[in-house]
Amino acid sequence: MTPDRVTRSDQPNGDGPGTVRFAMQCPLCQAADTRVIDSRPVDSNSAIRRRRLCVACDHRFTTYERSNPVTMVRKRSGRLEAFQPDKLRTGLSSALAGRPVVEGSIDLLVERIESEVVTLGPVVSSDVIGRLVLDQLRQLDEVAYLRFASVYKSFNAGSDFERELAELENQTESLDPTP
């Protein structure tokens, strides 16, 4: 069931100016004229179940409303945009291109990073997301880590790669207890 029309309300009926209202289509006849005949909270108040009646054909149907919070990313320029897992997947795919990684690794990384980003709050800086990606790539593949770091940290010369590689080796040695 998809809304078939959008109206903007500028009326003093409790909705503020510019409030967007969706008309729910009947799944049987596709009519947009439906009425809510019953509403109740479900799933421990995390959703609302609505029984609806189509005015055109008298068909009754159920819809559910669930909150879908959107995490926003604050870019370096200060601009805000919605977090896009596909954009993250593209960056990871580029960094891991041609590398011997297990199939599904990229999807797993995206899931891990996305769940971490969501827990950090409604607005997360792109720098924080970049560091999360680097941490995950460091554990998975050092070459992919360096590829991603070269873009994320804006490497300009070979010395930037050398510095990052030395830092990576120091971190790897500090984690490896063998002499």
Once rounded to an integer, what is the mean pLDDT over residues 167-171? 75
Whether the model clears a pTM of 0.85, i.e. scores above it, the answer is no
pLDDT tens string 108-161: 999 999 999 989 989 999 999 999 999 999 888 888 988 888 887 777 888 777
Q: What's the pLDDT at 120?
A: 92
User: 22 falls in which pLDDT band (50, 70, 90)?
Assistant: low
Write the DSSP assignment of 69-122 as a string of letters: ---EEE-TTS-EEE--HHHHHHHHHHHHTT----TTHHHHHHHHHHHHHHHT-S
Q: Which helix (H) or strand (E) holds 145?
A: helix 142-152
Q: Are strands 123-125 and 72-74 parallel, antiparallel or unpaired?
A: parallel
pLDDT tens string 44-81: 888 899 999 999 999 999 999 887 778 999 999 999 99
Alpha-carbon 121 to chain mean position: 12
Q: What's the pLDDT at 128?
A: 95
